[in-house]
Structure 1
Amino acid sequence: MPHAEPEGWQRNVWALSLIVFTAFVGFQFFSPFLPLYVQELGVTDPARVAIWSGVLLAVTPSVAAVLAPVWGILADRVGRKLMMIRSLVGFAVIIAAMGLVTSVTQLFVARLLQGVFAGFSVMAMALASVSCPRDKVPVAIGRVQSAQLLSVAVGPAVGGYVASHFGIRFAFFVTAGLCALSLVGLLLLFKEVRPGQPGGATSRPARLPFRDLVRVRYFPLVLGLLIIAQFIDRGLALLIPLKVAHLPGLPRIAVISGVIISVSAVCGTIAATLAGRLAQRWPIGRLLLIGCLAGGLPCALMAWTDSWVTLLVLRSLVGLALGGALTLAYSLGGQLSPSESRGAAFGWLALSVQLGGALSPLATGGLAALSLPGAFLADGALAWLAALLLLLVARDLITRHP
């Protein structure tokens, strides 16, 4: 397919990274504080607060997972940029409405509708992958993924300040404003190059049914790796505050949890950027194998730590080892799928990510209620399971590029 001029693809990918970073900083303004908002809406029983928080965190990715393939197929027909515009417009309106709700049921409906308009980050990945030369796909996806990860280091701290000084409702309005700002950036800064005629003229994309896509060698493996990587990442986000709360003699649980989450997000950003660059020279399968093997150990060791400093070090090591896993898996999926059907392929990749994101809070929360150390051990075991799958199913990906 044609691509923008050499400098053009760099400009497009940097523009996408800025757009994704702005929007995801906004998402982090309110996501960590949903349990507090549930209480503000009148739910006082701690058990019900926990249940509602889990449901609210799970409903958006659940709906998004169901609809992701639909939006992906539509993106190949009408354009991926248009699908991102759809998401950002919907987010701006719906998230602003979340700041106006008066009951937790209304908040649930708003979160459900947010899932209907989701798919923003995955379309950004798809756009990045088709906006650059094929050998630069890991670099492009790494940049966009790094922008998303870096938002976790910035958003909660700034969002916490806004929520504490102006109220949690105001945080929703700020997020809606940042989504609108991302929309303006998308319209002004990004120039989409579509498959078809030279210069980006449009042609009808080849149809690629899911049954044909799963016959692409290693594509089902990529789907499984994405589920595991997202499950671990979302699970640790839930487990870290719980672990800090169980450590003796810590007066500022929220502050310490925020520091650990922010530092690990920076480590993940570094890992995602480095993974994208290394994937140009090393086989992606080998990088994934090394990351999963190295990341499983600190995951498991967090089960027994009794110091927040040790927890910070271990969580940072997990970020460095597994922070590039999503980038590498997305890159592998992008390289395996035809460029003219990249939107449909990324729709199914998104389903895997959203499925992992939906299952993780529920499964991890339930497991942590039974055994907090067991939840950390389970995440470590999942990382090693991913490594085992690579060794058993795709050994040649460890030694060569797809």
Structure 2
Amino acid sequence: MEMWKKNLIVCWFGIFVAAIGMSQIAPVLPLYIQHLGVQDTATITKISGIAFGITFIISAIFSPIWGSAADKYGRKPMILRASLGMAITIGCMGFAPNVYILIGLRLLQGVITGYSTACTALIATQTDKEHAGYALGTLSTASIAGSLLGPTVGGFIDEILGLQSVFFITGALLLISFITTLIFVKESFVREEKKVLTIEEVWSTVPQKSLTVTMFLTFFILSVALYSVEPIVTIYVKQLSNNSSHIALLAGITFSASGLANIIAAPRLGKLSDKIGAHKVMLACLIGAVIIFIPQAFVQNTWQLMGLRFLLGLASAGLNPSVNIILKKITPSSLTGRVFGFNMSAGYLGVFGGSVLGGQIAGILGMQYVFFITSALLLANAIWVYFKVYKKLNLNE
């Protein structure tokens, strides 16, 4: 078996386990905040947005730093650093005595970030362009599916063992990712640039600056849109289920519906991208997501919401991988870590903006408006992609 295929399998497993571990927190975070003493529903949604998003705004600052370190020292050391650091930090969250310590640990988690970025850079630099769509599309299923299946695991753990156990088991899963990476990932790393480049020098060597910036902005908007509902899903499910005693479990399954869809769709859309172009897949999936978000505001029960989240997962499976595929094809291998680092910064800023925006909109206007505004953002992104990416790349074919 070729090295890139072996690494793809190991990195897929590692990202999947890490994503499950980290995303277990999503459905229980509002409940944990309530457990730590906050009782008002509107306040819980706002604090949930801040606690969820603070990790990602700090990640946006440190992601280019770790990306540069990956180009300098290799991608495997960055994978090991991030997985072990997050295992310790998230495990400590289970001991948080109040929301301030919890938010502080979420902030520290952002400093240690870089796991999926390093894995993506590792696969991107070792995969030939003919198979880039398949490899990166498959890899994306690990992160997306793990992130969206994890909440179900978190819901079960909360039901059986309690809220704090979610954080302890998350830390254990991340430790497993560290061990599997240490043992199984092989990297033939050759440092191509001895001199430490400044951001300006790195940028001066990027061949297609306009398209690269467009990809960064697109990834930012996608992240804002797709994460705007994260802080409210648990509270929304609570309303729809008439305060059922199994809120964490139902919320977890609702999150996970999209994960199942991603497992089904992402590799197929990746192969389709190799054949017809990632820009075409991206535009079609954006239009689908615009349409699917709107009816989520009008659902009458949790099962309807789960069904729509599944459809959203089919559409979103072609979005983030398409950005990575295009960046991979237009970026020199010596700059891959740094460019992916900058792209992840844009994504982290988007996650922070989306989670805070969603929490604030829900607290001020009501939860239904989060879906309307998210759909409008995706529509604006679709128009942007059509003019700046789709038309440009079509002319180059």
Superposed pair shares fold, TM > 0.5: yes
Matched residue, 2:73? 78
In the alignment, is residue 296 of structure 1 matched against residue 268 of structure 2?
no
Paired letter, 1:192: E
Deviates more, 1:351-360 or 1:82-91: 82-91
Deviates more, 1:346-355 or 1:333-342: 333-342
Shift of 1:24: 1.4
Matched residue, 1:339? 333
Contact 1:73 1:343 survives alignment (8 Å): yes
Paired letter, 2:282: L
Contact 1:286 1:398 survives alignment (8 Å): no
CA distance in 2, matches of 1:29, 1:258: 8
Shift of 1:219: 0.6
Matched residue, 2:17? 22
Q: Rate the CA distance shift 1:249–1:170 in 2: closer, same or farther, 3 A.
A: closer
The one of 29, 35, 53 equivalent to 1:58 is 53
Paired letter, 1:280: D
Matched residue, 2:385? 390
CA distance in 2, matches of 1:169, 1:357: 24
Contact 2:87 2:171 survives alignment (8 Å): yes
Matched residue, 1:183? 178
In the alignment, is residue 223 of structure 1 matched against residue 216 of structure 2?
yes
Shift of 1:50: 3.2
Shift of 1:166: 2.2
Matched residue, 2:117? 122
Matched residue, 1:3? none
Secondary structure of 1:279's counterpart equals helix
Contact 2:10 2:184 survives alignment (8 Å): yes
CA distance in 1, matches of 2:25, 2:10: 24
The normalised TM-score by structure 1 is 0.90
CA distance in 1, matches of 2:329, 2:335: 12
Indicate the RMSD between aligned Cα atoms, in angstroms: 2.4
Secondary structure of 1:194's counterpart equals coil
Shift of 1:345: 0.3
Matched residue, 1:259? 253
Matched residue, 1:204? 194
Paired letter, 1:33: V
Q: Rate the CA distance shift 1:8–1:296 in 2: closer, same or farther, 3 A.
A: same
Shift of 1:239: 4.2
**Aligned sequence identity (%):** 26
In the alignment, is residue 10 of structure 1 matched against residue 5 of structure 2?
yes
Shift of 1:32: 2.2
CA distance in 1, matches of 2:98, 2:374: 34
In structure 1, stretches of 5+ residues that fail to align are 1-5, 197-201
Instruction: Give CA deviations for 1:126-182 in whole Å, capped at 9, x if unaligned.
Output: 111112112222222112210112213432222222223222222222111111111
CA distance in 1, matches of 2:308, 2:175: 37
The one of 229, 232, 240 equivalent to 1:236 is 229
Contact 1:295 1:318 survives alignment (8 Å): yes
Shift of 1:233: 1.8
Shift of 1:120: 1.0
4+ runs of 1 displaced by more than 6 Å? none
The normalised TM-score by structure 2 is 0.91
Q: Rate the CA distance shift 1:238–1:46 in 2: closer, same or farther, 3 A.
A: closer
CA distance in 1, matches of 2:43, 2:308: 32
Deviates more, 1:245-254 or 1:96-105: 245-254
How many corresponding residue pairs?
Answer: 392
